[in-house]
Amino acid sequence: MSNRLPVDYEEGPDGQIRWKSSPGGLVTALEPVMRAADGAWIGWTGVADRELDPFEHDGISIIPVPLSSRELEEYYEGFSNDTLWPLYHDVIAPPSFHREWWEAYVRVNRRFAEAAARAASDGAVVWVQDYQLQLVPRMLRESRPDLVIGFFNHIPFPAYGIYSQLPWRRQVLDGLLGADVIGFQRAADAGNFSRAVRRLFGYSTRGTVIDVPDADGGSRRVVARHFPISIDAAGFEEIARRPEVQARSREIRESLGNPETIMLGVDRLDYTKGIRHRMKAFGELLRDGRLEVEDATLVQVASPSRERVETYRQLRDEIELAVGRLNGDYSTLGHQAIAYLHHGYPREEMVALYLAADVMLVTALRDGMNLVAKEYVACRFDEDGVLLLSEFTGASDELRQAVLVNPHDIEGLKDAMVEAIRMPRRERARRMRALRKRVRDNDVANWSRSFLETLTGAGIIAPGVPDP
């Protein structure tokens, strides 16, 4: 179960309902798993005030959970995306704490838990995804103690000093501790979680195992550890090898005026992504004459996201002001400094862009994983292209051969961009080979397999033996 279903709801002019597979990190990661398993996916349809019956889509059984427009505001836009999201991303934006939002979060989590309790067969495995549903594991365990329950947090879990700001910090931890296995992206996230459990509940933790006291005086073992998520690497490479995708990538280069270097940013339009930092650095390189607009273009794809949340509205205005200024100052009639695209694109077009990009810029200020970095690497079967990657992404734990940057350090970011642009071919190939091996060896199938194996094996690990 996840807040958002893997399909998007569309209503035709005739009132006909259509479902479209939706792109996005979480969906990309889980679709192949769901297709292979005889499972049901429980989630919200993306529209408010619609009660929809369960249905099948592309071989996946879908169980929609309804949200009212008030719940959309309070549970989704409010508590999930204006309280938890900024808090868990190191308060890059200030989180808002509202009691009504919390109450809606509890109510909606209960609705999801009830839907799972109805759908799951005896002893079934239920895998709950992400921060929108942190109370579900406990609620589900109470109504269905027979189930095996996993939870995976796709975003960072913050250090205690930040987490402890949450007025409902005990309730959220308790909700999560209803799971048998709690997965995180990085070892540091799992460590932050275990520390919070020790500080707030005093439960004992040994390595990745937490002993959670139960009602009858015994205790349950909960595993909290990292399982870095990944992508369908072979699927991306297959698209990249298609002749028409390669032709499209050449066409993109030409339409940009054949600059020597194309730099690319691909993000949801989110303040965690460091889009302003990368534009500032690029603008200064043009201002200082270290780059010329004829030689280097920045393509920034910023897909629309959470547009009714005020912080996101403000960010869009700021980014678009900066793009306008930069283009006004540095573009010529034949060469644009920044090509800014406020759209989502189909996967084929994204792959063509990845192939066209000499330098991929991932400058997030905080990011659970960042799958764009892995997608870029997976597509570069030509062993060319340079990945510039923020140290504050989960991906940087694995992708050590990227050009690693601290995006807050604008001078360092500028130097890293120049280093990436000027990197000799042999060095680019050496790094890309190592990066590609890493992404191929740890793809999304490995991720789900290792999580599910830990989950289904969780009950049989002998007490006192730390999980490997």
Whole-number Cα distances in Å, 112 to 2, 52, 101, 134, 403: 9, 14, 17, 11, 42
Tokens representing residue 313 in the block: 């509205």
Residue 438 binding ligand G6P, by CB under 6 A: no
**In the stretch 71-90, what mask flags binding to ligand G6P with x, by CB under 6 A?**
----------x---------
d(CA 70, CA 68) in angstroms, rounded, equals: 5
Residue 130 binding ligand G6P, by CB under 6 A: yes
> Which is nearest to 278 in space by CA: 366, 158, 363?
363
Matching residue, tokens 């895998």: 127
- Shorter beta-carbon distance to ligand G6P: residue 8 or 348: 8
Among 1, 19, 25, 222, binds ligand G6P (CB under 6 A): 25
Find the binding residues for ligand G6P in span 358-387 (CB under 6 A): none
d(CA 51, CA 186) in angstroms, rounded, equals: 37
Which of 20-28, 47-55, 161-169, 439-447 is the region at the interface with ligand G6P (rule: CB under 6 A)? Answer: 20-28
- Shorter beta-carbon distance to ligand G6P: residue 223 or 371: 371
- Shorter beta-carbon distance to ligand G6P: residue 268 or 414: 268
Q: What are the backbone dihedrals phi and psi of residue 56, each rounded to the nearest 5 degrees, phi first?
A: -105, 140
Residue 155 binding ligand G6P, by CB under 6 A: yes
Residue 24 binding ligand G6P, by CB under 6 A: yes
Strands 60-64 and 55-57: antiparallel
d(CA 108, CA 418) in angstroms, rounded, equals: 48
Residue 305 binding ligand G6P, by CB under 6 A: yes
The residue with its CB nearest to ligand G6P is 154
Residue 138 binding ligand G6P, by CB under 6 A: no
For residue 81, the minimal CB distance to ligand G6P (Å) is 6
Contacts of the segment 113-118: beta carbons below 8 A, 24+ positions apart: 113/139, 113/140, 113/143, 114/143, 115/1, 115/42, 115/63, 115/65, 116/1, 116/42, 116/140, 116/144, 117/143, 117/144
- Signed CA dihedral, 342, 348, 350, 353: sign only: negative
Among 4, 89, 221, 273, binds ligand G6P (CB under 6 A): 4
Residue 267 binding ligand G6P, by CB under 6 A: no
Residue 26 binding ligand G6P, by CB under 6 A: yes
Residue 402 binding ligand G6P, by CB under 6 A: no
Residue type at position 18: R
Which of 18-26, 135-143, 166-174, 217-225 is the region at the interface with ligand G6P (rule: CB under 6 A)? Answer: 18-26
For residue 89, the minimal CB distance to ligand G6P (Å) is 10
> What crossing angle do the helices spanning 371-379 and 425-441 adopt, rounded to 10°?
120
Residue 436 binding ligand G6P, by CB under 6 A: no
Which of 22-30, 142-150, 194-202, 233-241 is the region at the interface with ligand G6P (rule: CB under 6 A)? Answer: 22-30
Q: Is 181 helix (H, G, I), strand (E, B) or coil?
A: strand
- Shorter beta-carbon distance to ligand G6P: residue 155 or 362: 155
Q: With contact defined as beta carbons under 8 Å apart, do 50 and 8 qualify?
A: no
Residue 154 binding ligand G6P, by CB under 6 A: yes
- Shorter beta-carbon distance to ligand G6P: residue 61 or 305: 305
Residue 93 binding ligand G6P, by CB under 6 A: no
**Alpha-carbon Rg for the chain in angstroms:** 23
Binding interface with ligand G6P (CB under 6 A):
4, 24-26, 81, 130, 154-155, 305-306
